[in-house]
Structure 1
Amino acid sequence: MKKPVWSWVELTERDIPEILKLISDIEDADHSTIRTTRAEVESYFLDSHSWRAQGACVNGKLVAFGLVRTPLIADGEGTVTISGGVAKQWRAKGLGKDLMERQVEVAQSVANSVGLSPARAVLYIEGAQPELADLTHNLGFTPQSKFVTMRRNLDEDIAIDELSAYIDIVEMTAELSEDVRHIHNAVLSDNGQWQSQTPQSWQERIKGFTAEWCLVAIDRFGDRPRVAGYVLSSAFSSTGEDDDEGYIEEIVVLPKWRGKSVAPALLRAAIERFDRGGMRYAGLDVNIPYPHHSERSLVDVFTAYGFDQIAETLIVERPLN
Structure 2
Amino acid sequence: MSSDTTTLRPIAERAQAPAEVRVPSTATGLTWRPLTPSDTPALTRLVNDIEVADAEPFRTSDEEIAERFDGSGKDIARDTLAGVDEDGELRAWAFVVQPPGDVSVVRTFLEGGVHPRWRGRGIGREVLAWEVDRARQLLAATGKDVPARIGAFASEQAAATVGLLRSAGLTPVRVYFEMRRPLDVALPDAPLPPGLRVEAWSDARDEDARLAHNDAFASHWGSEPRTPESWQEGRAQFAPGWSLLAVDDATDEIAGYLVAGRYEQDWEVAGYSSGYVELLGVRPAWRGRGIAPALLTAFMARLREEGIQVAELGVDTENRSGALGLYTRLGFEAFHSSTLYSIEL
| Corresponding position of 1:249 | 278
Pick from 118, 129, 134 the counterpart of residue 101 of structure 1: 129
- In structure 2, the residue corresponding to 1:239 is in which secondary structure? helix
- In structure 2, the residue corresponding to 1:125 is in which secondary structure? strand
Distance 1:87 1:240, change over 3 A: farther
CA contact (8 A) 1:5 1:58 kept: no
Residue type of the partner of 2:28? V
CA contact (8 A) 1:29 1:88 kept: yes
Distance 1:25 1:179, change over 3 A: closer
Q: CA deviation at 1:77?
A: 6.6
CA contact (8 A) 1:246 1:282 kept: yes
| Corresponding position of 1:7 | 30
Distance 1:208 1:189, change over 3 A: farther
Pick from 212, 228, 231 the counterpart of residue 241 of structure 2: 212
Distance 1:198 1:239, change over 3 A: closer
The answer to which structure has the higher strand fraction is 1
What 5-or-longer segments of structure 2 have no aligned partner? 1-24
| Corresponding position of 1:306 | 331
2:251 is aligned with 1:235:
no
Distance 1:215 1:309, change over 3 A: same
Aligned residues: 313
What 5-or-longer segments of structure 1 have no aligned partner? none
Q: CA deviation at 1:213?
A: 2.8
Q: CA deviation at 1:274?
A: 3.1
Answer with 115-124 or 145-154: which moved more.
115-124
Q: CA deviation at 1:38?
A: 0.8
2:106 is aligned with 1:78:
yes
Q: % of aligned pairs identical?
A: 27
Q: How does 1:94-243 map to 2 (within 5 A)?
A: 94-112=122-140, 118=146, 119-161=148-190, 163-173=192-202, 177-202=206-231, 209-220=238-249, 224=251, 227-239=254-266
Answer with 69-78 or 26-35: which moved more.
69-78
Distance 2:101 2:120 in 1: 38
Question: What CA deviation, in whole Å up to 9, does each residue of 1:66-94 have, x standing for no partner?
Answer: 11123456669732221111222333332
Residue type of the partner of 2:329? A
Q: TM-score, normalised by structure 2?
A: 0.76
Q: TM-score, normalised by structure 1?
A: 0.80
| Corresponding position of 2:66 | 42
CA contact (8 A) 1:80 1:120 kept: yes
CA contact (8 A) 1:163 1:262 kept: yes
Q: CA deviation at 1:122?
A: 1.7
CA contact (8 A) 2:64 2:237 kept: no
CA contact (8 A) 2:179 2:334 kept: yes
Question: What CA deviation, in whole Å up to 9, does each residue of 1:231-271 have, x standing for no partner?
Answer: 12222235288995322112123466555442222112212
Distance 1:277 1:81, change over 3 A: farther
Q: CA deviation at 1:124?
A: 0.7
- In structure 2, the residue corresponding to 1:41 is in which secondary structure? helix
CA contact (8 A) 1:68 1:103 kept: yes
CA contact (8 A) 2:103 2:225 kept: no
CA root-mean-square deviation: 3.5
Question: What CA deviation, in whole Å up to 9, does each residue of 1:161-192 have, x standing for no partner?
Answer: 56534332122456754554344223313334
| Corresponding position of 1:55 | 82
